[in-house]
Amino acid sequence: MNVEEYIASGILDSYAVGAVSDQELREVNCLASIYPEIRHELDELMLSVENYALLHSIEPPTGLRDRIASQLTFEEADDNNTIVRPLPLDREAPVAATQPYTYKTTWMVAAAAALLVLFFSYFLITQLQSNQKAMASLREANESMQNELKQTRTSQQQTEQTLAMLRQPGTRTLELRGNDKSPKGDILVFWNPGTKQVAVEVKSLPALPADKQYQLWSLVNGKPIDAGVFDGNLDGTALQKLNRAIAEADAFAVTVEKRGGSPTPSMETLLAMSPTA
Amino acid sequence: MKRQSSLVSESVLIEKLVQRDQKAFHWLYDQYSPALYGVVLRIVREEEHAQDLVQDIFVKIWKNLDAYDPSKGRLFTWMLNVARNTAIDALRAQKSQPSSANAIRTDEENVHVVDRQHNTQQPNPEHIGIQDVVSQLRPDRRQLIDLVYFGGYTHEEAADELNLPLGTVKTRIRAALQELKQLFKS
């Protein structure tokens, strides 16, 4: 904007004699606060107009001053007050302005920090929980794997034992099928007449009460000879070596006897029987 | 208006005024009432009315001291503004009443006012009398300033009154003020 042109336009002069619209008044005030040249010119013009107005000065009639004074309220002019009174005001203003601000800020910061700690704690707890879960599931997996490993080892051992027995020359495998008492009864009997070793592998037999066991009998010339006891409820196909030496057998039979075995078989519990030849 | 009193500086005066000190009011009145009364009388042209208005003006000033911002201008500028606006509002209220037919003051009446000046204390430190200024100021320019400043006329109203184009009114006001500026500088 061209300041000289604006000054020459005459608007400042009109302002000085009070002949501008409200909008022009605001415009001039605004521009005067921005441009020092305009401010300076305006001040000079105002001063000229004020001086011109002063030339018309007329002393008002006596008594007008008191008449006006009676309309006004005055404070007692106390010298102490003039010094002291503004001080608390001056002091209060910044205090009132700053204290709640800092007070607020402190609380806001504290609250924010507390929130942060809270969130962090929550985060840590969830982390801990998930870690614990992960640990637990790992432990479980580990246990089940160890179990599986054990089982695998056991079954491997059994397999090896079975294989070892089967590898021995002369080992015979007899299948004992269950009768009507145990239709699903199914046992393999491994017998080596040479080494006199006997072992059974239960494929499926009903589980027995704790005080009962299965007992294997070898029949020689119609006589039952104790060939050892075994359990029917073992997991898997465990090879159970029986600690009886059997040199001869025409047939093998299985009965249910009391735990530890009986000297003579209780024939009513005969489950399975199979001839060796 | 540069009235530099060795006794009271303006900022001290304002401080005392804000404290509603009676002595400060007396000082303010003694200092400025001739100027305000003169302007108001020049506008409303009736002494009793002017005195009532001066009372209203001082009450207004007293009540609105907090609205005065020293950074925006001198105290006298502000007071003169309050006085002129109050008086012009009163004049307009008068004009809107059909009973009084107030015409613009003629030079004859001006002489009457000027004559009264002889018995009054001259407030201006340079002692420039109104006659000195009036005699030096071109009549057509003075007439226009009086119409606008003391009559509260707008540019358009002044152009109608004086049968002048609007542009001429604006340039003439500027010329008049430049002339005044030179007169007071010298």
Q: Write down the domain spans for chain A.
A: 3-57, 172-275
Which residues, 6 or more positions from B70, have their beta carbon under 8 angstroms from its beta carbon?
Answer: B10, B11, B14
Q: Does residue B157 sit in the same domain as residue B90?
A: no
Interface of A with B in 53-72 (CB under 8 A): 53-61, 64-65, 67-69, 71-72
**Residue A144 tokens, joined:** 């089940």
What residues of B are in contact with residue A49 (Cβ under 8 Å)?
149, 177, 180
Domain presence at residue B161: yes
Optimal mutation site among B2, B16, B19, interface A, most CBs of chain A within 10 A: B19
Residues A215, A261 contacting (CB under 8 angstroms): yes
pLDDT at position A235 = 60
Give the pLDDT of residue B118: 38
The pLDDT-based confidence of B159 (bands split at 50, 70, 90) is very high
- Residue for token pair 């009736």: B46
Total residue count of chain A as it appears in this document: 277
Please check whether residues B65 and B3 belong to one and the same domain: yes
Do B133 and B74 lie in one domain? The reply is no
Residues 6+ apart with CB under 8 A from B1: A47, A50, A51, A54, B35, B74, B76, B123
- The torsion region of residue B102 among left (phi > 0), alpha (psi -120 to 50) and beta comes to beta
Q: What is the pLDDT of residue A274?
A: 77
Nearest-CA neighbor of B87 among B134, B52, B111? B52
Percent over 90 (pLDDT), chain B: 50
- Average pLDDT over chain B reads 80
Q: Indicate the residue of A44, A60, A77 with minimum beta-carbon distance to B34.
A: A60
**pLDDT value, residue B38:** 95
Question: Which of B73, B96, B119 is the C-terminal boundary of a domain?
Answer: B96
Give the pLDDT confidence of B92-121 residue by residue, as tens digits: 888 787 554 444 444 444 444 443 443 344
Q: Quick check: is B109 in a domain?
A: no
Domain range for B3:
1-96
User: What is the rounded average pLDDT of the residues B85-91?
Assistant: 94
Based on the domain organization, do B133 and B91 belong to the same domain? Answer: no
Phi, psi of A223 (to 5 degrees): -95, 135
| Contact state of B23 with A77 under an 8 Å Cβ cutoff | yes
Pairing of strands A223-230, A212-220: antiparallel
B21-26 contact pairs (CB < 8 A, 24+): B21/A74, B21/A75, B21/A77, B21/A82, B22/A69, B22/A74, B22/A77, B23/A77, B25/A69, B25/A72, B25/A74, B25/B62, B26/A65, B26/A69
Among B96, B120, B153, give the residue marking a domain's end: B96
Query: Residue B32's domain is classified under what CATH number?
Result: 1.10.1740.10
By C-alpha distance, which of A137, A275, A150, A169 is closest to A217? A275
Tell me the CATH class for A172-275.
mainly beta
Query: In the prediction, which pLDDT does B129 show?
Result: 66
Residue to substitute from A55, A82, A90, interface B, most B β-carbons within 10 A? A55
Residue B15 resides in a domain: yes
Please tell me the total count of domains within chain B: 2
Residues of A within 8 A of B133 (CB-CB) are: 52, 55
pLDDT in tens, chain A (277 residues): 789 999 999 999 999 999 898 899 999 988 998 899 999 999 999 999 999 999 899 999 999 999 999 988 888 755 544 443 444 344 444 444 445 556 778 888 899 999 999 999 999 999 999 999 999 999 999 998 998 888 888 878 777 877 777 788 888 888 887 777 766 777 888 888 888 888 888 877 777 888 888 888 888 887 888 888 888 766 655 678 887 888 888 888 888 888 888 888 887 777 777 777 6
Look at residue A252 in the predicted model and tell me its pLDDT.
Answer: 87
Does any domain span residue B101?
no
CB atoms within 10 A of CB A220: 14
Element (H, E) at B11: helix B10-18
The CA distance from A269 to A179, in Å, is 10
- Residues B24 and B87 both lie in one domain: yes
Q: Do B25 and B85 fall into the same domain?
A: yes
B125 touches chain A (CB under 8 A): no
- Compute φ and ψ for A218, nearest 5 degrees: -105, 135
Structure tokens belonging to residue A250: 């025409």
Residue A144 C-alpha from the chain's centroid = 25
Interface touch B171/A46, C-beta < 8 Å: no
B133 and B88 both lie in a single domain = no
- Can you give the pLDDT at residue A82? 45
Tell me, yes or no, whether B76 lies in a domain. yes
- Give contacts of B 147-186 with A, CB under 8 A: 148-149, 152-155, 158, 170-171, 173-174, 176-178, 180-181, 183-184
CA of B113 to nearest chain A CA: how many angstroms apart? 8
**Dist CA B143 CA B133 (whole Å):** 13
Same domain, B2 and B70: yes
Q: Are residues B88 and B140 in the same domain?
A: no
Residue A265's pLDDT is: 84
Element (H, E) at B87: helix B75-95
More confident residue, B25 or A239: B25
Can you read off the two tokens belonging to residue B140? 């057509």
Write the DSSP string, chain A: --HHHHHHTTHHHHHHTT-S-HHHHHHHHHHHHH-HHHHHHHHHHHHHHHHHHHTT--PPPTTHHHHHHTTS--B---HHHHHHTHHHHHHHHHHHHHHHHHHHHHHHHHHHHHHHHHHHHHHHHHHHHHHHHHHHHHHHHHHHHHHHHHHHHHHHHHHHHHHHHHHSTT-EEEEEEB-TTSTT-EEEEEEETTTTEEEEEEEE-----TTEEEEEEEEETTEEEEEEEE-S--SSS-EEEES------SEEEEEEEETT--SS--GGG--EEEE--
Q: Is residue B105 part of a domain?
A: no
